[in-house]
Amino acid sequence: MTLERERPWLFSLFFCNYTFIYNNKDVRPNKPNESVKWRITFSRKTLGDRLYSVPLLLLLLPFVVGIALAEYCVIPLWLVVGALSLSAVMCYVAMESRIALLYVALMNIMAGYLVSEISERPASMPYDRAVEMVIDVRGIPAQRQGYRVAEGHITEWRDQNATYEANDRVQLWLRSDSIDAGDRIEIWGKLRQQMSRYKGYNDLLSCRGYVGGVAIADYNIISHEQGSTSSLQQRAIEKLTIYQADSASHATVEAMVAGSRHAMPTELREAYSATGLSHLMAVSGLHLGIVLMVVTLLLSPISLIHRGHIVAKLLSIVALWLFAIMSGLSPSVVRAAIMFSVLQLSTLSTSPYNSINTLAATLLIMLVIRPGYLFDISFQLSSLAVMGILAWGVPLTRLLHTRNWLLRHLTSALVIGTVATLWTLPVVSHTFGSLPLAGIILTPVVIALAYIIVASGLFTLLLPAPLSLPFAVVSEWCAKLQNNIVLWASEHSLTGIEYEMPLSIVALCYIVIAIITLIVWTISRKRVVVFHTLGIDDKDII
């Protein structure tokens, strides 16, 4: 046999020898029989180290207690300011002792109460009084039974020949088909304090900054100025209509890519809600994660040039916020955009990144800006889901890591979906009166479809018309498949169990979740290397 024919076998032999030597480079020659074990211990020091690694979470929790306290209790503001000042002084005095942590907690409780009280801003105009008002229509009107709803901002109002400036966010009930996003309308009407006949939805709108509702019809319009420019969201919706084979699937693409649910059929909306998969229709961290993945792929060539990775990171942050603006800047989108931006900047500066600490910082910033977000169901669900994924989901996926690519991704999707469902289950049951179990079963499939829908939709928006057509076809086809799966699950009683969990049980559930998390955080693993030499066991702890 010639050397030329033997060369492949020699290369294979060299590769096998190199692999063996590399994998066994740490074996000590005088201790040939070696085995590695893990010793699991419970340590309060480990728990303390982990808690101190998330200081913003420790600040967030008492701040949330203070906001909740402002909702259910009335305390004089002078007493709140005095307690805040006194706790700050005592914290400085006792800085070297552990009791300083109690003063920090008290200080944050008072700060949460104070921020909640001073942020409450009533409407700048009277309720239930007919006046002239100028309203800017913001957001694409959504169809309801017999009318449309949209977000509006009252910029000024007139009464008895006097003009007053205003900046009131209101819910618009539109009974005129000529009104669209971006229009400015002058009407003669009343501001109603009640925005819905359902108290829960009325409270939800109040938490989001709405001060009331205004009805607009053809008979009370004084002047109507159509918008000269379309918003970023409107342009995205117009671009997505390049291919529209089915109205329901196209509405799903619009909701998941452009953040507009105005065209969603009522039956489909109820099916997603009943199966516990309505979060797919609200742009959140899942959607921004897909956007970041696509943008990183497109900007990867820039990283090849000198300092190109810095430009790529900054451009990816800009792309994230453009997508957030396009989708309407909902609380879940803002939270995810801030968190992903901090992640990109932290990798850019090579500083350590703690995802739970970053999430806590994001939530703290949002609650300082608008404390009412705490009582917004979408804010609650998105925050709990992400916190559960970071605290439980990520460690479990690492524990169940396998080398099989397909099995690894399926396991991760199932674990992440299960954890997110468990963490949000008490709130969902208390708010909606049901335990959605179908979401756990369908999560791996719908998450895979969501990746395809959002990624294809992004390429539809970025590419010119001839090149974007195939991506538009793929996104609508996957949206149709996803809709059929959700409708099938809702029709075959796979939605869940009807049960409205009492508030006390909800609190007990999250206390149990917190206790389990703290117990897990006390676990420390030490690597134990056992050497077997002449029948005698020798142990080294690494």
Residue 259's nearest CA partner among 378, 400, 133, 422 is 378
Is the pLDDT score of 444 beyond 90? Answer: no
Whole-angstrom Cα distance, residue 298 to residue 314?
A: 13
Domain boundaries, given as residue ranges, for the chain? 47-118, 131-225, 233-501
Express each pLDDT in 93-152 by its tens digit: 877 777 878 888 888 888 888 888 887 777 788 888 888 999 988 777 877 777 888 888
Does the pTM surpass 0.85? The reply is no
Checking phi first, is residue 128 left (phi over 0); if not, alpha (psi -120 to 50) or beta? Answer: left
Q: Which residues pair with 153 in a beta bridge?
A: 136, 169
Tell me the pairing of strands 212-216 and 148-159: unpaired
**Distance between alpha carbon 328 and the CA centroid of its chain, in Å?**
14
212 neighbors 133 (Cβ within 8 angstroms): no
Comparing C-alpha atoms, which of 201, 207, 151 is closest to residue 174?
A: 151
Interval 366-375: pLDDT, tens: 888 888 888 8
Give the side-chain half-sphere CA count within 13 A for 377. 17
Residue type, 169: R
What is the token pair recorded at 495? 């939605």
Region 376-403: mean pLDDT is 82
Dihedral sign (CA 477, 247, 336, 351)? positive
- 389-411: buried (b, 16+ CB within 10 Å) or exposed (e) per residue? bbbbbbebbeeeeeeeeeeeebb
Separation of CA 403 from chain center: 29
pLDDT in tens, 198-228: 777 787 788 777 888 899 888 888 888 877 5
Average pLDDT of the residues in 537-541: 43
CA distance 99 to 77: 25
Percent of the chain exceeding pLDDT 70 equals 83
Q: Which fold has domain 131-225?
A: OB fold (Dihydrolipoamide Acetyltransferase, E2P) (2.40.50)
Distance from C-alpha of 67 to C-alpha of 335, rounded to nearest angstrom? 18
DSSP H helices in 42-135? 44-52, 55-72, 77-93, 100-118
Res 76 pLDDT > 80: yes
The mean pLDDT value of the chain amounts to 78
